[in-house]
Amino acid sequence: MKTLEELSREYQCLKGSQWHNYMVMYDLLFTPIREKVMSILEIGIAEGTSLKIWQDYFPHAIIYGVDINVPKNVTGDRIRMFEGKQQDWDFLKQTMDKIGPCDVIIDDGGHILQHQLCSLLYLIDWVREGGFYIIEDVPETNLKFWEFLTMHMAGISQGKLEQIPIFTGPITESILGFRRKKGLLE
Ligand SMILES: C[S@@+](CC[C@H](N)C(=O)[O-])C[C@H]1O[C@@H](n2cnc3c(N)ncnc32)[C@H](O)[C@@H]1O
């Protein structure tokens, strides 16, 4: 079975080591749960490259994507896409009512702080126990804010949320987020 880094090179995905280098972190986080993940949602589809990678990587998962412009030519037996804004709670509610809780949620959408915050605050409750919520491409200038917020949220979650280590790639943008503790996946 191929690693995410290998799949990234094959599909020329920007999450791979040629650019952001996030896949090294994702390989560490996701390898232990690879066979158990049943659903993953990514905000931000673009041409669908990462959705295809998730489909190849997680053999049993349905892959959901959300974007303001859903591409017409992305196909895949286990890929489902929804058109709407990540900051629109009505849209997120309608979507999550259809999808149900997810094992992994990744925000690779518009990368605007307020929008990332809107999505996080609505979607964090839709992460299954043992699953991950990850925000990509956090610039250095916003890192302190996110560090504080995620620490605070972990603190007030009564042990339900655990921060994942901040990982900064070679071009100084970071990924960060939570793992929902005590899980079905463990
Ligand atoms: C970096 S691309 C996603 C790349 C994709 N995840 C990949 O790795 O192949 C960002 C995408 O977010 C979408 N986007 C921008 N603003 C958005 C918003 N407010 N809500 C949802 N999607 C948004 C854009 O249309 C674009 O397709």
Q: pLDDT tens digits, residue range 68-83?
A: 999 999 989 999 999 9
Active site residues: 111
For 60, counting Cβ atoms within 10 Å of its Cβ (0-12 exposed, 13-18 middle, 19+ buried), the class is: exposed
Residue of the CA atom closest to atom 26 of ligand 1:
46
CA distance 74 to 165: 32
Residue 177 has phi, psi (to 5 degrees) of: 160, -155
The greatest distance separating any two alpha carbons of the chain, rounded to the nearest whole angstrom, comes to 44
What average pLDDT does the segment 46-65 reach?
Answer: 97
pTM > 0.95: yes
What average pLDDT does the segment 131-145 reach?
Answer: 96
Listed by start position, the domains of the chain span 35-180
DSSP-derived secondary structure letter, 48:
S
Question: Which two tokens mark 111?
Answer: 């990368």
pLDDT at 183: 56
Number of the ligand 1 atom closest to the C-alpha atom of 109: 12
Which residue, 176, 172, 100, is CA-closest to 134?
Answer: 176
Number of the ligand 1 atom closest to the C-alpha atom of 115: 19
CA distances from 19 to 9, 14, 22, 113, 154 (A): 10, 5, 9, 22, 30
Q: Is the model's pLDDT at 128 over the cut of 70?
A: yes
What average pLDDT does the segment 12-37 reach?
Answer: 93
For ligand 1, is residue 96 a contact (CB within 6 Å)?
Answer: no
The CATH homologous superfamily to which domain 35-180 belongs is: Vaccinia Virus protein VP39 (3.40.50.150)
For ligand 1, is residue 15 a contact (CB within 6 Å)?
Answer: yes
Q: How confident is the model at residue 104 (pLDDT cuts 50, 70, 90)?
A: very high
Residue of the CA atom closest to atom 22 of ligand 1:
67
Percent of the chain with pLDDT strictly greater than 70: 97
Q: Is the model's pLDDT at 143 over the cut of 90?
A: yes
